[in-house]
Amino acid sequence: MNKSMNLELDQTKVLLLLLTMIIFHSCETEFVPEGTNLEPEIVVEGYIEAGDNTTPPFVFLTKSVSFFNEFDPSAIEDLFVHDAVVTVSDGDSEHSLNEYCLEEIPEPIRPLLIEALGFDPDSLNINLCVYLDLTGGLVGEIGKSYDLNIALPDGNVLTSTTTIPPHVPLLDLWFVKPAEEAPDSLLELRASISDADDRLDYYRYFTAVNGNAFRAPFQSVVDDAFFDGSEFEFPLPNAEFLEEDADFETFGLYQVGDTARIKWANMDEEHFEFWLTLEFNAVSQGPFSSYTQVETNIKGGLGIWGGYSISQYQIVVKE
């Protein structure tokens, strides 16, 4: 794989936000071929976590991109919305999320911030702008609701609310050989949980290998409709990039000797519905694909303000 392709893949997390913008703007209205001059809307992507090694609360603000527009990745920086007043209230106090652009942050702190947001500091070449709390004053807690308020420079206001639900940790993690004919150097990761029987639970997971940033697989969310209240075993595929020459017999497996990390999360129903519908649209392509409107919990805009209760695990890849 050449250098330019590596840079493109390293920017996938940024482009996921852009994919969200495109999908929202194309799915929110009826398909009209001549409708090429749609006004951009504000897209929010923000999270607050409770649990192990949490990321500071943060919010990306961008403008949507029409489905019909030609897209140049170099134009990503022009989509960020600046000078908004972003606050989060937990019912007891209100906290401000301040805007930071990477080029303005001193070098000793910059790579730490990039890693905290889940990016690779060695390959990210976009001047990312984000609203976040670096004071440590806003800490996610299980059972609490968090109200997001965004006052834009043009006077418009966006609001949202998310709740951090109870957490159901993994019981165990282990590796198995996926099939007799599979290479000895590749293994499948399996996990088990004991699902709570007194509520609906919604799950999402991320993987990372050998110190790389966490990323989510193509289908990262599931609810407990089929295993409510029971102990359940399931695979956790490695969240790899899907390349044109990917071998689907080995895709999602882990290399023996590597160190894998798992970020396991619970979320509320609205947060789950956002990812469920977004991921369905992202993998459903072609003239015969099904139409699904991407859900949003942002009033006055598009996107997601989501809470996670999380746990993290590290395991060496071996049988």
The full set of domain ranges for the chain reads 3-164+296-308, 170-267+312-316
Q: Which residue has the higher pLDDT, 69 or 139?
A: 139
* Nearest-angstrom CA–CA distance, 115 and 123: 11
* Nearest-angstrom CA–CA distance, 254 and 191: 14
The mean pLDDT value for 196-204 works out to: 93
* pLDDT tops 70 at residue 7: no
The answer to whether 88 and 138 have CB atoms below 8 angstroms apart is yes
Picking from 116, 118, 131, the residue whose alpha carbon sits closest to that of residue 45 is 131
The answer to whether 99 and 82 have CB atoms below 8 angstroms apart is yes
34: phi > 0 → left, psi -120 to 50 → alpha, else beta; which? alpha
- With residue 4 as reference, give the H or E element that holds it: helix 3-10
In this structure, of 19-28, 101-110, 292-301, the range with the lowest mean pLDDT score is 19-28
The mean pLDDT of the chain is 83
Pull the structure tokens for residue 58.
Answer: 């943060």
Pull the structure tokens for residue 179.
Answer: 């099939």
Strand 42-51 to 259-267 pairing: unpaired
- Local confidence band at 17 (pLDDT 50, 70, 90 cut-offs): low
Pull the structure tokens for residue 9.
Answer: 């893949």
* pLDDT tops 60 at residue 5: no
- Determine the topology of domain 170-267+312-316 in CATH: Immunoglobulin-like (2.60.40)
Neighbouring CB atoms inside 10 A of 277's CB total: 18
pLDDT digits (tens, 9 = 90+) for 87-104: 999 999 999 999 999 888
pLDDT digits (tens, 9 = 90+) for 107-161: 777 787 777 777 777 777 788 899 999 888 999 999 999 999 999 999 999 999 9
Strand 42-51 to 302-316 pairing: parallel
Beta-bridged to residue 175, according to DSSP, are 189
pLDDT digits (tens, 9 = 90+) for 299-311: 999 999 999 999 9
State pTM to two decimals: 0.84
- With residue 261 as reference, give the H or E element that holds it: strand 259-267
The mean pLDDT value for 194-200 works out to: 92
Beta-bridged to residue 261, according to DSSP, are 208, 314
Pull the structure tokens for residue 78.
Answer: 């022009």
The mean pLDDT value for 78-86 works out to: 95
Q: Which residue has the higher pLDDT, 247 or 288?
A: 247
Match 């746990």 to its residue by tokens. 311
In this structure, of 6-10, 66-70, 263-267, the range with the lowest mean pLDDT score is 6-10
